[in-house]
């Protein structure tokens, strides 16, 4: 089915979106053998709603492909698959093909899209053995999405990649929920920016209210934010930027090998290393994002500069002391202070990494539990069948 563009990112029935309007009712047994990525016969945990009541709509997302992550322009490219399902009591007694365009629908759209989205949509009606009927929409969406990128921990930063699904209906008419029995997914093998980023496997779903103005006044709209994350691979920046600065600081300690009375030689060596570090800082500025606040890498380099300045101050005053004991104390103190700062940097990075990796482990456990439950269900119901349309 060819993709069609929609200028507003709309996921509802629009002429620009190709849909399957007349759909035969599909009968499913509760124990049917279902594909993980397509249809699930398990009904949402909600009783049949009457007209005018707040509708429960369950949403599931699969990040099928994530492209370029642009931290400068705060956006990313992605292809996502959306499943939307809700209870439709009006079709419980229907036995023939129905026109889905006349049914109630949640009127969904992607709130944080940039420009036009390429969009395909399919609609199907599912009836379980108990007689309850559900309408399920399947959306394939591809485009560019806005995301506020935080670079305070660069180059160890982890960026959120969020797709916000919102409804045009007021919050009093619809309640968006993540599908409870089927977890959202991220397909990491199709990630296009794998050389620079590590894509995580977990997906967090967060409910939100979006405030908007309309011709009838301010309205609150129900929304779901589906967030996965990507962590920057920092080896390049650590080896080519921070490690060089670290070596320059280590060489500055060699000034203590010179005679304490040769103040000119000590200061000359220290100033050369300081000016070299400053020059190197201006050179590497072209390789890092230009933002208005300090990143973790900026703080590390500034810490090295401050360390060199303190060494120069010490060497300029050391001629007043003749004691070798004070000189040894200074060497130990400067070394301890410097490595203490390096340890603080390392602990900060490790703590952030552990928190993100823990989310991945929890999501993998959830996927394994789902696969195990599904396998047991298939084994116990090998005689179950799926009726055709």
Domain boundaries, the chain: 4-233, 235-322
Q: pLDDT grade, residue 325 (50/70/90)? A: confident
Whole-angstrom Cα distance, residue 193 to residue 172?
41
pLDDT of residue 36: 29
Sequence-separated (6 or more) residues with CB below 8 Å from residue 66: 76, 77, 78, 79, 161, 186, 190, 191, 192, 193, 199, 228, 230
The closest of 303, 271, 272, 297 to 285, measured between CA atoms, is 297
310: enclosing H helix or E strand: helix 296-317
Per-residue confidence (pLDDT) for residue 52, from 0 to 100: 57
What CATH number should be reported for the domain whose range is 4-233?
2.70.170.10
Is the pLDDT at 257 greater than 90? The verdict is: no
Strands 4-6, 113-127: pairing kind: antiparallel
Q: What pLDDT is attached to residue 121?
A: 92
Mean pLDDT for 65-89 is: 93
Q: What is the pLDDT of residue 147?
A: 95
**Tokens standing for residue 77:** 């490219």
Residue 106 reports pLDDT greater than 50: yes
Strand partners, 159: 230
Lowest mean pLDDT among 62-76, 167-181, 357-371: 357-371
Residues 262-269, mean pLDDT to the nearest whole number: 88
Tell me the average pLDDT across 211-221.
68
Please state, rounded to an integer, the average pLDDT across all residues of the chain.
79
183 to 59, 81, 128: CA distances (angstroms): 10, 13, 21
Give the mean model confidence (pLDDT) for residues 8-24.
43
Structurally, at CATH architecture level, domain 235-322 sits in Up-down Bundle (1.20)
pTM of the model: 0.76
């Amino acid at each position: 089915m060819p993709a069609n563009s929609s200028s507003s990112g709309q996921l509802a029935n629009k002429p620009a979106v190709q849909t399957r309007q007349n759909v035969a009712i599909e009968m499913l047994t509760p124990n049917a053998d279902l594909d993980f990525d397509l249809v699930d016969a398990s009904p949402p945990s909600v009783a049949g709603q009457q007209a005018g009541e707040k509708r429960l709509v369950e949403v599931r997302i699969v990040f099928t492909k994530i492209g370029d992550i642009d931290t400068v322009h705060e956006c990313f490219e992605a292809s996502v698959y959306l499943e939307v399902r809700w209870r439709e009591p009006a079709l419980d007694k229907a036995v023939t093909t129905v026109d889905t365009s006349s049914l109630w629908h949640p009127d969904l759209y992607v709130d944080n899209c940039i420009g036009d989205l390429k969009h395909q949509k399919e609609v199907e009606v599912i009836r379980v053995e108990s007689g309850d009927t559900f309408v399920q929409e399947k959306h394939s969406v591809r485009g560019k999405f806005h995301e506020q990128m935080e670079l305070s921990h660069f180059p160890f930063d982890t960026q959120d990649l969020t797709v916000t699904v919102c409804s045009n209906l007021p919050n009093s008419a619809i309640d968006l929920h993540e599908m409870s029995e089927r977890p959202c997914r991220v397909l990491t093998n199709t990630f296009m920016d794998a050389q620079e980023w590590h894509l995580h496997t977990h997906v967090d779903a967060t409910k939100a209210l979006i405030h908007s103005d309309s011709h009838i006044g301010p309205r609150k709209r129900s929304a779901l934010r589906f967030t996965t994350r990507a962590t920057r691979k920092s080896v390049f920046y650590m080896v080519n930027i921070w490690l060089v600065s670290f070596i320059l600081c280590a060489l500055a300690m060699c000034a203590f090998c010179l005679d304490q009375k040769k103040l000119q030689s000590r200061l000359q060596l220290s100033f050369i290393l300081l000016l070299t570090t400053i020059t190197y800082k201006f050179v590497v500025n072209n390789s890092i994002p230009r933002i208005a606040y300090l990143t973790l890498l900026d703080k590390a380099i500034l810490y090295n500069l401050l360390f060199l300045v303190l060494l120069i101050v010490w060497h300029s005053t050391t001629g007043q002391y003749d004691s070798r004991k004070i000189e040894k104390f200074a060497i130990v103190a400067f070394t301890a202070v410097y490595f203490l700062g390096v340890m603080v940097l390392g602990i900060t990075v490790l703590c952030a990494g552990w928190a993100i990796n823990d989310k991945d482990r929890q999501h993998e456990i959830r996927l394994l539990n789902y696969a195990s439950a599904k396998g047991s269900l298939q084994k116990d119901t090998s005689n179950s069948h799926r009726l055709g349309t």
